[in-house]
Amino acid sequence: MSAVEVNFDGLVGPTHNYAGLSEGNLASERNRDMISRPRAAALQGLAKMRMLMALGLPQGVLPPQERPNISWLRAFDFTGPDEAVWESAWRDAPRLARVAASASSMWAANAATISPSADCDDGRLHMTPANLITMLHRAQEADTTARALRCVFPDAARFAHHEPLMAQDCFADEGAANHMRLSATPGAPGVEIFVYGRASDDPPRAGFPGRQTLEACQAIARRHRLDPQRTVFIRQSADAIDAGAFHNDVVAVAHERTLFFHEQAFADKAAALADIRAKAAGLFEPNFIEVSASSVSLADAVSSYLFNSQLVRAPGGDGLTLIAPSETRENNRVGAYVAELVTCVGAIKRVSYVEVRESMRNGGGPACLRLRVELTDTELAAVPPGFLLDEARVSALERWVKTHYREELAPGDLSDPFLIQETRAALDELTRILPLGGAFYSFQRG
């Protein structure tokens, strides 16, 4: 059956800021308390979507979540009118207030794990919103993500929506950022590759946290009804995690038959590649593009975000295009590596650099900002068209950003109680640009 990969990008929310909330994410830690530029951040995200649209690729969008998250703060017994909740949280628990202001749902690669229907034995597309329990600020995303996905994929006969995994350490799950898929062509059955940072019975270790567990990966593979003969579980290398690869998509990316990865991405590379090759047997021959540490060190891979690129095939074009962050080019060693890569005979024929600097300063590159969903023609027809971008809708979103988003947000600006009404006005209007209905956000439900 013919199918197409649709990237659904997370819209950057109006409270985009640098709070230094993510241990093990070097950019987030380094840029803590910098002044952010929410308007530029959201426009950079939309410009990236435009770039993919210009290549002839379908592009979808996911809404930002409601922040400041006043109802989340109420769970910690901040009481009174919304403005009073916000003020007392800043006074008594500023760290919680910053968590409640985080716009982290923009990184849609962490929204969910998606298995296309070609891989699932009931012929439906399966999705599991990520519980994101490792980082407090991200753990507040799962419920709203689940609701957003139900709006975008409403047809239960075609789309199987699962609950996020149990919010327990054993099932820590960060979604598609640790999930890859190889297949001969879109629509063909593939090999699903789950990458985990730790197993629940690992001995304690020093170093940065592994955010994805083996148990979470296995549970998702079972509930998505994947064929064990076509499913691979790979342990991420501790070296990669400790170098700042807090998700696998910082050191590897896959598309169609191609796996583009860093030599030190996986704990046991030889076993991982052999397993992928064995499980692809009879379907396709995988194409491994391994980047040696002598060409690009792990430190350069993490700082340049080379692998946090999108690998795409433009319709009618030959070969794959790497949509890489401009930071990749700015790193002389990595930029030179890419320039050579695209001139050798290989699957990746060209590179396009994209500027998503505001997101990058929080550790989110082009690939973090999108959730990939491979849809058959009939599944695509079941997506409300309002979630797919055309010129009119992307222009409407740009106008919306320019109307509602602040140019700058300094940490001290976040405590402004006026921010609550300001962001709600923006989100309320958004529900008339995207087909979210009039009660998507909790403030709209009263």
Least distance CB 359 / ligand SUG (angstroms): 8
21 in contact with ligand SUG (CB under 6 A): yes
Of 186-194, 226-234, 346-354, 361-369, the window that binds ligand SUG (rule: CB under 6 A) is 361-369
- What are the two backbone dihedrals, phi and then psi, of residue 283, each rounded to the nearest 5 degrees? -105, -50
The verdict on whether 404 is a catalytic residue reads no
Q: Are strands 258-262 and 252-255 parallel, antiparallel or unpaired?
A: antiparallel
**Measured from the CB of residue 112, what is the shortest distance to ligand SUG in angstroms?**
12
Integer-rounded Cα radius of gyration of the chain: 21
Nearest residue (CB) to ligand SUG, 238 versus 245: 245
Alpha-carbon distance of 63 to 29, in angstroms, equals 26
Size of the site for ligand SUG (CB under 6 A): 23
Q: Does residue 177 interact with ligand SUG by CB under 6 A? A: yes
What 8-state DSSP symbol labels residue 120?
A: B
Q: Are 260 and 348 in contact (CB under 8 A)?
A: yes
Yes or no: say if 291 and 261 are a contact pair by the CB < 8 Å rule.
yes
Please choose, out of 6-14, 158-166, 242-250, 294-302, the segment that lies near ligand SUG by the rule CB under 6 A: 242-250
In angstroms, what CA-CA distances link 140 with 231, 359, 424? 30, 19, 18
Q: Exposure of 15 by Cβ count < 10 A (0-12 exposed, 13-18 middle, 19+ buried)?
A: buried
Catalytic residue (one of 16, 161, 247, 262): 247
Distance CA 245, CA 297 (A): 12
Q: How far is the CB of 305 from ligand SUG (least distance, A)?
A: 9
Stretch that binds ligand SUG, among 62-70, 228-236, 324-332, 363-371 (CB under 6 A): 363-371
Strand 287-291 and strand 159-161: pairing? unpaired
- Residue 22 contacts ligand SUG per CB under 6 A: yes
The structure tokens 């295009």 sit at 321
Q: How far apart are CA 129 and CA 110, in angstroms?
A: 8
Q: Which is nearer to ligand SUG, 104 or 144 (CB)?
A: 104
Q: Kindly name the residue from 368, 374, 379, 404 that is annotated as catalytic.
A: 368
Cα end-to-end span (Å), the chain:
45
Q: Are 394 and 49 in contact (CB under 8 A)?
A: yes
Show the site string, 86-125: x = touches ligand SUG by CB under 6 A, - = not: ----------------x-x--x-xx---------------
Token pair, residue 360, equals 């990058």
Q: Tell me if residue 174 is catalytic.
A: yes
* Site map 277..306 versus ligand SUG, x via CB under 6 A: ------------------------------
Tell me if 145 contacts ligand SUG by CB under 6 A: no
In the complex with ligand SUG, which residue's Cβ is closer, 59 or 110?
A: 110
The answer to whether 368 is a known catalytic residue is yes
18 binding ligand SUG? (CB under 6 A) = yes
Q: Does 13 bind ligand SUG (CB under 6 A)?
A: no
**Residues present in the chain in total:** 446
Nearest CB to ligand SUG, comparing residues 164 and 187:
164
The span from the CA of 321 to the CA of 314, in Å, is 7
Where along the sequence are the contacts to ligand SUG (CB under 6 A)? 18-22, 25, 28, 102, 104, 107, 109-110, 135, 138, 177, 246-247, 249-250, 362-364, 368
- The residues carrying an active-site annotation are 174, 247, 368
